[in-house]
Structure 1
Amino acid sequence: MLNIKKPYIIGETAYNHEGDLEYLYKMVDDISELGLNAVKFHILLNPQSYIHKKHVLLNELKKWIFNKDQWFELINYSKEKKLDVVMLCDDVESVNYIIKNDLNVDFIELHASSLNDYFLLDSLSNWPKEIILGIGGSKLDEILYAVNFLRNNGKEKIILMYGFQNYPTNYSDINLSKMIRIKDLFDLPVGYADHTAFDDPNNEFVSVMPASMGFNILEKHYTPDFGKERIDYHAAVGKNQFLRIKKLIELALCVYGTGELELSDPEKKYGNVGPMKKAIVAKKFIKEGENLSLDNLWFKRTIEESPIEQNEFLKLLGLKAIKDIKEDELITFDKIKYEFKNNNLEDFTNLQV
């Protein structure tokens, strides 16, 4: 996931399945066929541990959850499909179930609504793998609390997932530049959870923008029924959109590069002295024994490559030509003489003769 040269894309299923297990398996199949890196599930085993008994969504929520055996089969099926598995745990029971049964899960994620939930954070103390913290809509002190809590419990494998749901999408609220500051402040990898509205004409463009800034992790809602009014459909894209997003992210990260300061081979070829960068040549005929000077040297693009860099020009001044040099001829080391000055050992105070 941390290889910034390659995209790491998580297809989030959320509750778009609405409790239909067959539909959820279809989502896994699609996410695998798309060639995404991971599938993300929302797991909830005890609704009353997550939501108040008087909450209007409680009864609906109960219809959307699966039992432990169903989750066990679904997780293994996802691994057979060559997908990493991200489990967003909404209750302590889910975390304990995954850890105690050593399920084949790659990441446990906490939703931003649980970022400072002591009991959920504490339940992760025995989780040996990576933890994803949803930080959308969270203040810096809230992020710091969660990160310090985990670090104090020996957890160093932490990823911060930036982004929040906002309909209709207000682009200025996305504030991608904040990701850079968060990454620097916490010295942790940061991913982007995009929630741009499904019918926003800039959905794909916005989804890819973090990759152009070097952030290779994207979390994005998927649905087999693009635009159909189901739970969590507002930010969910279909197969065709996801394919385009995947290709665009690969392109964006390729263009972003590695930040390596050393010139690549194509850069070296482009910047060679002579055919590309002007070479130092004789401005006029230079006779053998004549000193090189501002009057008889010039810079020109040439057919031949020159071994002398442009910034070595001042070092040439005053040197003597050891052969005749024609006008426009390259200045090369075999045509000039450099006399090394003999140093007097007495000039070096730390040496004794």
Structure 2
Amino acid sequence: MPKVFIIAEAGVNHNGDINLAKKLIDAAKTAGADAVKFQTFQAENLVSKVAQKADYQKQTTGAEENQLAMIKKLELSFDDFRELKKYCDQKEILFLSTPFDYDSIDFLDSLGMPIFKAPSGEITNLPYLIRIANTGKPVILSTGMSDLDEVGLALKALQNNGAGPLTLLHCHTQYPTLFGDANIKAMLTLKEHFGVEVGYSDHTLGIEAAVAAVALGAAVIEKHFTLDKNLEGPDHKASLNPKELKAMVSAIRNIELALGDGLKRVSKSEEPNKQAARKSIVAKRHIAKGEVFTQDNLTVKRPGNGISPMKWFEVLGLRATRDFCEDELIE
């Protein structure tokens, strides 16, 4: 990827409303994200009737209903996703969606989705990983709640079953993630250990962690966003609003420019400043013709268009070929 691939994670922040989903696409496009990503699932295929909510979900949506009831309200149909894919094409932003069951994998593959994003919760789901790998598409895999051994097994499953190029996203699966838990340097460990592209799926509040990950070498950044943090639903409060998303994209693009190509050289923009900022050997006082140059009658001052002070000891001991005034450049 020629630049950091920024995924604006709409997730289920559409609250089951396709019109809200389209507004999220608009916001992601306006912010300058490369892709907008949703979550595709059939609730009954994803969650059993006895599954309870995660603690953060209980805090954001209450503890009365179980996870299945909550997820069911956030479900969009396959026809909805066909419409959202067309809408993304019209808006010229890449449509992505994370599948959470086999039918959703097959559907998104038939939709022509070019990249599969596998979530942290499926990293130990071998049949799921094989199904995604069988598409032959590139796979971005989040690694929250896992250790190196689990990541390695998941990678092996993907690689051995036909997956395209792989990218690992360091991730901490808590919403929101405390800065002290983010451990962004683990992203570098993933790159060193597995030799694949890496990135960061950021669940901290604000944009600082995502920008820091880019400075460390992230190839992909994923970040949840919403139209309104006060909307009902499990992920809104830990998401960026559209203004914050735009600020994150802008900061990442600026960091990309600032990182440069790593070659140490004089740039075109700083070349003209050499004369003003560097120094030359000058007369410390009046020097008469024929006088020997010494540390007593020479000094170093700006500008830098005379003899470089790096030749200091080559000049000492020579004789002046003419008179020099105080502060005059030595020739």
- The interval holding the TM-score normalised by the smaller chain is 0.7 to 0.9
* CA gap 1:329/1:181 in 2 versus in 1, 3 angstroms: farther
Q: How does 1:307-322 map to 2 (within 5 A)?
A: 308-314=307-313
Residue 329 (structure 2) aligns with:
330
Residue 54 (structure 2) aligns with:
none
Once the two structures are aligned, what percentage of the paired residues are identical?
29
Residue 76 (structure 1) aligns with:
86
Deviations for 1:282-304, whole angstroms, at most 9, x for unmatched residues? 5574756x8876676542223x6
Q: Which secondary structure state, in structure 1, belongs to the residue aligned with residue 48 of structure 2?
A: coil
Q: What residue identity is the alignment partner of 2:93? A: L
Residue 230 (structure 2) aligns with:
227
Residue 90 (structure 1) aligns with:
100
Residue 25 (structure 2) aligns with:
28
Structure 1 position 145, deviation (Å): 2.3
* CA gap 1:127/1:264 in 2 versus in 1, 3 angstroms: farther
Q: What residue identity is the alignment partner of 2:310? A: N
* CA gap 1:279/1:81 in 2 versus in 1, 3 angstroms: same
1:16 equivalenced with 2:26 (yes/no): no
1:181 equivalenced with 2:189 (yes/no): yes
* CA gap 1:315/1:160 in 2 versus in 1, 3 angstroms: farther
1:58 equivalenced with 2:57 (yes/no): no
CA distance in 2, matches of 1:283, 1:152: 75
Q: What residue identity is the alignment partner of 2:166? A: I
* CA gap 1:89/1:235 in 2 versus in 1, 3 angstroms: same
Q: What residue identity is the alignment partner of 2:79? A: D
* CA gap 1:312/1:77 in 2 versus in 1, 3 angstroms: same
Q: Which secondary structure state, in structure 2, belongs to the residue aligned with residue 237 of structure 1?
A: coil
Deviations for 1:73-102, whole angstroms, at most 9, x for unmatched residues? 221221221111222121233223333x2x
Deviations for 1:144-165, whole angstroms, at most 9, x for unmatched residues? 2223333445646222222224
Structure 1: gaps (5+ residues): 198-202, 333-353
1:171 equivalenced with 2:179 (yes/no): yes
Residue 143 (structure 2) aligns with:
135
Q: Contact between 2:133 and 2:164, CA under 8 Å: does it hold in 1? A: no
Q: Contact between 2:175 and 2:235, CA under 8 Å: does it hold in 1? A: no
Q: What residue identity is the alignment partner of 1:98? A: L
Q: Contact between 2:135 and 2:162, CA under 8 Å: does it hold in 1? A: no
Q: Contact between 2:39 and 2:100, CA under 8 Å: does it hold in 1? A: yes
Q: How does 1:267-278 map to 2 (within 5 A)?
A: 267-270=270-273, 272-273=274-275, 275-278=276-279
Q: Contact between 1:286 and 1:321, CA under 8 Å: does it hold in 2? A: no
Residue 247 (structure 2) aligns with:
244
TM-score (norm 2): 0.79
Residue 305 (structure 1) aligns with:
305
* CA gap 1:2/1:94 in 2 versus in 1, 3 angstroms: farther
Deviations for 1:89-142, whole angstroms, at most 9, x for unmatched residues? 21233223333x2x3323211111111322222223343443111112221222
Q: How does 1:37-52 map to 2 (within 5 A)?
A: 37-45=34-42, 47-48=44-45, 50-52=46-48
Residue 261 (structure 1) aligns with:
264
Structure 2: gaps (5+ residues): 52-65
Number of residue pairs matched?
315
Q: Contact between 1:34 and 1:239, CA under 8 Å: does it hold in 2? A: yes
CA-based RMSD: 3.2
Which has more radius of gyration?
A: 1
* CA gap 1:276/1:152 in 2 versus in 1, 3 angstroms: same
1:145 equivalenced with 2:141 (yes/no): no
Q: What residue identity is the alignment partner of 1:224? A: L
Q: Which secondary structure state, in structure 1, belongs to the residue aligned with residue 238 of structure 2?
A: coil
Structure 1 position 52, deviation (Å): 3.3
Q: Contact between 1:109 and 1:132, CA under 8 Å: does it hold in 2? A: yes
Deviations for 1:261-311, whole angstroms, at most 9, x for unmatched residues? 1122233333x25x32221345574756x8876676542223x613x5443
Q: Contact between 1:38 and 1:84, CA under 8 Å: does it hold in 2? A: yes
* CA gap 1:178/1:311 in 2 versus in 1, 3 angstroms: farther
